[in-house]
Each structure stands twice: as structure tokens, then as C-alpha cells.
């Protein structure tokens, strides 16, 4: 701060070097101020000026200094949003990982349970699980060499289902043996199958097949008395097929659209009668399994995707083993070859 000396313009240097002329200003006479008085006045004025400035500074509180805003500050809106999104993503990743681990654990538990069930039924491996049913049903036509005259307008006769899925279909015919262990075994192993029933055998115990129906098995038509149909007239064949439709409706509440002729034998009248009775499809088979062997329709004796496999309701009375024995042979072979059992109706 620049010190302002009052009356500086009238002050002349003291020839004696003390900075003032004997305390006199101009030509002051005897009554003028004493030597050094002016200097003291200037010091006093300076002190007052400094004090006044200090008091003025103390009288007003200084504004608090605010930190400059920065895009890198932790509290900035942009960074808070980014941090929130990162936290959300981290939480989602953690939850996804936990869900995947839980699903894998459930899968291992189910696989272990299936294997334990398979071993309880005498199988070395658990049956494979079939893929989901096709969203669009495959188009099924009569197999080459199985045609009758006018077959284009009649129910198709086939031995396999056109599919790339590595699956086969288990079908069981007639109804002679009624082993409760068969129903329990296939239900516990979660293996689907389709039954083709003849009334002369099932009427001994309609209740047995009602349990089968209640377990989700489809009960289809295999004629009333299992005759050689081509040896009968059209009217007789129609009686065999439509009569069994009536039995199935009365006993099980359904009129199926699938029919298998006894022994796999048929002619044009068979298919015309079947169509008149509400039948839409006539599946035969490509392999047949017995308690002690397999038989193949194809020359190379091998399974193919979509093959229909036949067996019968036969036990120790007719074969050298039980129905579960036959199923063990069936499941052991197809599982070893990488096939699962699918439900026939899912593809029809």
C-alpha cells in the first residue's frame, strides 16, 4: 500500500538530513510545531489507515471457496449413472452364474436319480431322454411296396416316422399278459409307449389297461378278435375295426385314429373299412423285440431314426421271461446305440 504523506508538496528536504525542517512547514515561525511532531502525525495516520483496513477486512466474512466442478468427481451425475449401470451388470452376471450352477446341480441330481432307477430295474445305463416333439408334424405317406390300389385316398401304412431325431417308438400289441411290473417299470423309467389292444384279450381285465391309460399311455385299435383280416369280407373287417372302436370308447373314453392290423396283414378293404371307422393312420413296425432276440425288417439289421419297434404283452406263460425282461433287452440295445424312446403320438 502506498503511503500518502500529507502536505507532501510543501515539504522541503532538511539540509541536516533528518527528513524534516525542524518540524516546520513553509516559513512557520516560533509558534510552529516542535521538531518531529509532523513525523509522529504521519505515523499515527498510517497506523489509523492500517487499522481501518484490517477492521474492514474483519467486518465481512469471507465467501467459502467452492471446489470447481469436475466431470471426474465421484458425485457427478454422469459418473453416478455409469457406476449404477456397472453395479447392475455385475449383479445380473452373478445371478446368471448362480442360476446356471443351480440348473447344472439339478441336472446332475436328476441324472443320478435316473441311473439309480435304471440299476434298480437291472439296466446298466439310464435310458436317454428324447428331444422335444417336433413343432411341425412330419408328413407321413405309405411306404414303397406297401401300397394298395387307391392308397392315396386311404390311411397311410408305414414302418418308420420321417425324422432326423435319433429316436425310436415302442409299441406293444394284443394284451394277453397283464404284468403290473410292466406299468411300474416304464412309468418309473419315464419311457413312453403305445398299446394296440384286441378285445378278446383285454376284456379279462379292462382295469389293467385303464391304469395304463391313466399313466399317459395311448390305447389304440388292434381289432376285436385278432383275425387274419384279408380273409374276411369288407363288412366283416369293418365289424372288427369299428367294433373295437366302440369298446375303446366305452371302456376308456376315446375313439382312436390309429389302427394296426393283426399280424401286419391288410388289403384294400382293410384300409377302406378302417377309414370308415375313423382311422387316419396305420403304423406297422421295422423291428420286433422278444425276450431273447431282435428281429429286423431291413437287410442290414440296424436301427434307423424314427423306427417303430414292436413287442407283445407276453410273459412266462408264452415266452422264456417276463415283460420287464423284454423291456430290458429293448432299452439296453437302443441306449447302447445312442437312441431314445419318443412318444409315437407326438409325431403323428
Q: What is the DSSP string of 86-119?
A: HHHHHHHHHHHHHHHHHHHHHHHHHHHHHHHHHH
- What's the pLDDT at 306? 98
Give the three cell numbers for residue 219. Answer: 390305447
- What's the pLDDT at 88? 87
Angle at which helix 234-252 crosses helix 268-276, to 10 degrees, equals 40
Q: Are 178 and 205 in contact (CB under 8 A)?
A: yes
Taking the complete model, does pTM exceed 0.75, yes or no? no
pLDDT averaged over every residue in the chain: 84
Evaluate if residue 152 carries a pLDDT over 60: yes
**Cβ contacts of residue 124 below 8 Å, gap of 6+?**
118, 332
Mean pLDDT confidence for 286-294:
97
As a whole-number percent, the residues of the chain with pLDDT over 70 amount to 78
Beta-bridge partner residues of 170: 309
Mean pLDDT confidence for 259-288:
98
As a whole-number percent, the residues of the chain with pLDDT over 90 amount to 69
Tell me the C-alpha distance between 274 and 277, whole Å: 5
- What's the pLDDT at 269? 98
- What's the pLDDT at 101? 87
Evaluate if residue 58 carries a pLDDT over 80: no
- What's the pLDDT at 346? 97
Mean pLDDT confidence for 80-107:
88
CA dihedral angle for residue 276, residue 138, residue 222, residue 127, rounded to 10 degrees? -160
Q: Are 318 and 180 in contact (CB under 8 A)?
A: no
- What's the pLDDT at 75? 62
Tell me the C-alpha distance between 268 and 286, whole Å: 21
- What's the pLDDT at 74? 52
With cut-offs at 50, 70 and 90, classify the pLDDT of residue 9: very low
Mean pLDDT confidence for 55-80:
52
Mean pLDDT confidence for 159-169:
97
- What's the pLDDT at 84? 86
Evaluate if residue 106 carries a pLDDT over 70: yes
- What's the pLDDT at 140? 97
| CA-based nearest residue to 222, from 312, 141, 162, 306 | 312
- Better pLDDT: 35 or 303: 303
Mean pLDDT confidence for 267-287:
98
Mean pLDDT confidence for 310-334:
97
Evaluate if residue 188 carries a pLDDT over 90: yes
Mean pLDDT confidence for 318-325:
96
Q: Is 69 helix (H, G, I), strand (E, B) or coil?
A: coil
Mean pLDDT confidence for 150-156:
97
With cut-offs at 50, 70 and 90, classify the pLDDT of residue 55: very low
The C-alpha angle with vertex 340 and arms to 165 and 342, in degrees rounded to 5, equals 75
Q: Are 280 and 153 in contact (CB under 8 A)?
A: no
- Better pLDDT: 216 or 56: 216
- What's the pLDDT at 37? 42
Q: Are strands 294-296 and 282-283 parallel, antiparallel or unpaired?
A: unpaired
Mean pLDDT confidence for 148-160:
97
Evaluate if residue 19 carries a pLDDT over 80: no
Amino acid at each position: 500500500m502506498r503511503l500518502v504523506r500529507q502536505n507532501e508538496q510543501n515539504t522541503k528536504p532538511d539540509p541536516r538530513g533528518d527528513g524534516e525542517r525542524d518540524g516546520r512547514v513553509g516559513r512557520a515561525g516560533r509558534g510552529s510545531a516542535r521538531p518531529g511532531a509532523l513525523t509522529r502525525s504521519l505515523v499515527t495516520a498510517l497506523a489509523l489507515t492500517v487499522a481501518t483496513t484490517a477492521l474492514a477486512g474483519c467486518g465481512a466474512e469471507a465467501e467459502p471457496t467452492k471446489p470447481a466442478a469436475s466431470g471426474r468427481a465421484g458425485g457427478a451425475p454422469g459418473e453416478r449413472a455409469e457406476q449404477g449401470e456397472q453395479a447392475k451388470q455385475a449383479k445380473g452376471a452373478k445371478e446368471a452364474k448362480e442360476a446356471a450352477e443351480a440348473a447344472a446341480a439339478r441336472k446332475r441330481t436328476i441324472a443320478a436319480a435316473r441311473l439309480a432307477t435304471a440299476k434298480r430295474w437291472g439296466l446298466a445305463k439310464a435310458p436317454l431322454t428324447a428331444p422335444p416333439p417336433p413343432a411341425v408334424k412330419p408328413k407321413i405317406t405309405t411306404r414303397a411296396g406297401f401300397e394298395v390300389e387307391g392308397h392315396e385316398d386311404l390311411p397311410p401304412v408305414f414302418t418308420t416316422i420321417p425324422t432326423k431325431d435319433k429316436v425310436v417308438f415302442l409299441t406293444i400289441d394284443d394284451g394277453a399278459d397283464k404284468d403290473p411290473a410292466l406299468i411300474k417299470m416304464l412309468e418309473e423309467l419315464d419311457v413312453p409307449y403305445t398299446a394296440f389292444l384286441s378285445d378278446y384279450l383285454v376284456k379279462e381285465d379292462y382295469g389293467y389297461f385303464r391304469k395304463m391309460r391313466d399313466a399317459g399311455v395311448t390305447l389304440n385299435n388292434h381289432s376285436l378278435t385278432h383275425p387274419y383280416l384279408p380273409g374276411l369280407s369288407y363288412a366283416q373287417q369293418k365289424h372288427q375295426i369299428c367294433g373295437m372302436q366302440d369298446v375303446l370308447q366305452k371302456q376308456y373314453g376315446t375313439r382312436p385314429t390309429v389302427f394296426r392290423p393283426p399280424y401286419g396283414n391288410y388289403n384294400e378293404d382293410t384300409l377302406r373299412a378302417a377309414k370308415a371307422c375313423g382311422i387316419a393312420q396305420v403304423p406297422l413296425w421295422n423291428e420286433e423285440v422278444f425276450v431273447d432276440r431282435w428281429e429286423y425288417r431291413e437287410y442290414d439289421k440296424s436301427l434307423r431314426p424314427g423306427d417303430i419297434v414292436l413287442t407283445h404283452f407276453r410273459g412266462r406263460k408264452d415266452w422264456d421271461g417276463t415283460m420287464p425282461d423284454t423291456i430290458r433287452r429293448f432299452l439296453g440295445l437302443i441306449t447302447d446305440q445312442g437312441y431314445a424312446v419318443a412318444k409315437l403320438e407326438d409325431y403323428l
